[in-house]
Structure 1
C-alpha cells in the first residue's frame, strides 16, 4: 500500500490542532539511519486506510516529496469519541534487518470441522494475531489457521500452525489459538434427554 505524506515543520499542541482543523493528521517517521521526521497526512485517507487489515500488517510505501521509503505502522491514537485520528507513528524498514511485529490470524474451514458439522459446537478464537520476527521480504499479510479437523473438546495450539518460510513466532510458549466447545444449553439438554431415557428404562 502507498501512503503520501508531507514534511511538517511546526510542532506543538497548537500546530497539531491547526493541522487537524485543516483536515490533516500529524505523524512521525523514525528508525534506520536517518533522523526522525515529522510529517502530516490527509486525515480522511488515513482514517479509511486504518480500517484495512493490510495497512496494519504490511510494509507500506511512504512517499514524502517524491521520495519513497518502506515503513511499518507502529502506533496511532484516535479521539475518545470522535472519528478523528490524532497522531500516527511509522517505523522505517531495513531490508537486511529482521522485523518484530504482529501478524493477523485468518481462521478457515470452521464450517466443515467435526465440532461445527457434527456437534453444532462453538469455535472460540483465543488469539487474533501472532507476534513474529522475520525479514521484511518474508512478512506475510496474515497467517492461516485451518480448523477443518477441530472437534469439540480439542484446541489448536501454536505448534499446530504452519508458519510461512522465514517467519518465527516470538514466544516460546505453545499458545492456545482456538478451542471448540458444545454450547452450555445444548449440554444440559442432552443430559436431561439421557436422564429421561434412563427413567423410562426403569
Structure 2
C-alpha cells in the first residue's frame, strides 16, 4: 500500500459554479466527502498539493487523512475531474473509510524479466499487455500497491493469466474469469521482414 498522508481542508459554506470558480482562483479545489451512511461533506483542498499527488501515482489507491477544522477523517480518493481544455484539476470525490470498509479499486500490473523470455529473446516477439491494471475487492486499509508478474518463461504465443497473480490475504479479483493479462506476440510484419533480411545477410557472409 502506498504511504498515507494528511491533507488540511476547509469546509465549503457555499456550493455551485460561482463558489467553485472563486475557490479555484484562490488555489483551492472543490471536493466532497461521502459514504459510511453519513451526509456528504463539501470541502476545499489545496490545489497544488492535490495536483502533485494526483500525478505522483497511486492517487486512487491510497487511503489518506483529511483534517477539517481539527477533525480527522480517513478517506480514499474515488474520482476526480479535469478541465477538458486546460487539464487542470477541478473537483475531487473522497469516500469515507474505516478498518471495516471494503473497496473496489484498480491495481497496476508490472512485468519483470521480459528480456529473458524465449519468445522475445530468441524469436523477436513482443510482450502485448492486455490489462495494465486489474480490478480487485479488498479492505481499504490493505490496498496492494501493485502486482508483479514474471515473464521470463514465456515463449511465442504463451500468456500470463489472472490466475498467475499472487493475491494478498483479503484481496480478490472482481471476476472469476481467468482472463489474459499479457501474451507474447510475433513481431510486426515490417520488423519480421527486417529480421529475416538480417538473417539472410548473416548466412551469405558465412
Q: Could you say which TM-score interval applies, normalised by the shorter chain?
A: 0.7 to 0.9
**Quick one: structure 1 residues 192 and 92, their matched pair in 2 at CA, closer, same or farther if it must change by over 3 Å?**
same
Distance (Å, rounded) in 1 between the aligned partners of 2:78 and 2:87: 20
Deviations 1:138-192 (A, max 9, x none): 2111122222222221111111211122110011221111111121234345667
Shift of 1:56: 2.0
Contact 2:34/2:94, CA 8 A, preserved across alignment: yes
Query: Which residue in 2 is equivalent to 1:19?
Result: 23
**Quick one: structure 1 residues 22 and 190, their matched pair in 2 at CA, closer, same or farther if it must change by over 3 Å?**
closer
1:78-97 superposed matches below 5 A: 78-97=82-101
Query: Which residue in 2 is equivalent to 1:124?
Result: 128
The reply on whether 1:41 has 2:8 as its aligned counterpart is no
Unaligned runs of 5+ in 1: 196-202
Query: Which residue in 1 is equivalent to 2:64?
Result: 60
1:97-112 superposed matches below 5 A: 97-112=101-116
**Aligned mate of 2:33, from 18, 22, 29:** 29
Contact 1:57/1:142, CA 8 A, preserved across alignment: no
**CA RMSD, Structure 1 to Structure 2 (Å):** 2.1
Distance (Å, rounded) in 1 between the aligned partners of 2:151 and 2:9: 41
**107-116 or 160-169, which deviates more:** 107-116
**Aligned mate of 1:72, from 76, 84, 91:** 76
Query: Which residue in 1 is equivalent to 2:163?
Result: 159
Shift of 1:33: 3.6
- Partner of 2:55, secondary structure, is coil
- Partner of 1:96, secondary structure, is coil
Contact 1:58/1:140, CA 8 A, preserved across alignment: no
Contact 1:29/1:37, CA 8 A, preserved across alignment: yes
Unaligned runs of 5+ in 2: 201-206
Contact 2:9/2:43, CA 8 A, preserved across alignment: yes
Distance (Å, rounded) in 1 between the aligned partners of 2:25 and 2:198: 65
Distance (Å, rounded) in 2 between the aligned partners of 1:120 and 1:5: 53
Give the TM-score of the pair, scaled to structure 1: 0.87
Shift of 1:136: 2.3
